[in-house]
């Protein structure tokens, strides 16, 4: 039987974002956050600021809403994992495998939603929580070589001065992760998790990481269990189709926009080579525009 894609956002939510998923979600979060902030080594000082925390010891899964067929089939619906740590940090995990060309602003929007939720007019701003957003993507939206990037609010002229630790946004690029020349699933928990979550990982490697990590083994057991449920499989494939349809709509709109820009540039007398380099359309398409 073909292995389901753990990074289908509906399946990821079932594995990591429902009541009873605390153990595996906790382990995944510590793998992500520890990879960047050295939380396992306690807090550190950078300039005059202290950052980095001890490992998270306890989380509460924050259920979103009832996942109905209408929600699954709605192309624009967000099936994110939401959690709260033992120290009051709010965490939002989103899987987005298709490039909809809005990931940075989208991530900021969902960070802001979580940041302002739960505080009312007149409340003390000290009640606002630290919010950590984790985005698992399968496209190159961040123009850096690392597969895992993390962003905070640092001062422009003093890169070691942190305004506040209330914002922390991670991007995990599965495409770049697959391109690693050498990995370390034995000693690196995040690489172990991403190896398991990647649908392209060979089954013999999946079996290896499952044996290494009790939390991953727990997720794997859950994955095998839901894979036997016919109603779940129907919903899973419904979500796959919805996301594929959304990608088609977005890409069509982008190509149409490129076509109109190319037509305007041709009208202004720009060369074929310039339009190719600027917009990315192939020469044959540009020539066909020019012939009309």
Domain residue limits, the chain: 9-228, 244-290
Dihedral Cα 168, 169, 174, 176, nearest 10 deg:
-90
Directed axis angle between helix 272-279 and helix 283-290, to 10°? Answer: 120
pLDDT digits over 95-120, tens only? 998 887 789 998 999 899 999 987 88
Separation of alpha carbons 30 and 53, rounded Å: 10
pLDDT digits over 23-77, tens only? 999 999 999 998 875 433 344 444 433 344 568 888 899 875 555 555 555 545 5
Confidence (pLDDT) at 71: 54
Q: Which two tokens stand for residue 22?
A: 């605390």
% the chain with pLDDT above 70: 82
Q: Which two tokens stand for residue 5?
A: 């894609």
Residues 6+ apart with CB under 8 A from 75: 242, 243, 245, 246, 249
% the chain with pLDDT above 90: 49
Residues 6+ apart with CB under 8 A from 140: 173, 175, 176
Pick the more confident residue, 277 or 89. 89
pTM score: 0.79
Q: Give the pairing type, strands 131-137 and 167-173.
A: parallel
């Amino acid at each position: 039987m073909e292995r389901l894609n753990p990074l289908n956002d509906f399946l990821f939510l079932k594995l990591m974002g429902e009541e009873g998923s605390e153990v595996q979600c906790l382990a995944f979060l510590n793998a992500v956050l520890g990879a960047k902030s050295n939380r396992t080594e306690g807090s550190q000082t950078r300039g005059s600021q202290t950052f980095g925390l001890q490992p998270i010891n306890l989380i509460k899964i924050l259920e979103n809403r009832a996942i109905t067929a209408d929600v699954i089939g709605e192309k624009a619906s967000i099936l994110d994992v939401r959690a709260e740590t033992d120290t009051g940090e709010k965490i939002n995990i989103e899987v987005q495998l298709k490039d909809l060309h809005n990931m940075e602003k989208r991530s900021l929007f969902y960070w802001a939603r979580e940041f302002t939720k739960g505080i009312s007019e007149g409340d003390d701003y000290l009640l606002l929580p630290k919010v950590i957003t984790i985005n698992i993507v399968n496209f190159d939206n961040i123009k850096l070589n690392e597969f895992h990037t993390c962003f905070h609010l640092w001062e422009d002229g003093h890169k070691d001065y942190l305004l506040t630790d209330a914002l922390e946004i991670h991007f995990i690029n599965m495409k770049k992760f697959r391109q690693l020349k050498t990995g370390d699933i034995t000693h690196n928990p995040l690489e172990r998790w991403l190896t398991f979550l990647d649908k392209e990982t060979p089954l013999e490697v999946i079996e290896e990481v499952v044996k290494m990590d009790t939390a991953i083994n727990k997720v794997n057991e859950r994955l095998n269990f839901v894979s036997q449920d016919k109603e779940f499989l129907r919903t899973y494939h419904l979500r796959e189709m919805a996301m594929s349809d959304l990608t088609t709509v977005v890409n069509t709109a982008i190509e149409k926009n490129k076509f109109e820009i190319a037509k305007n540039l041709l009208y202004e007398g720009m060369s074929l080579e310039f339009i190719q380099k600027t917009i990315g359309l192939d020469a044959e398409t540009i020539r066909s525009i020019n012939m009309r």
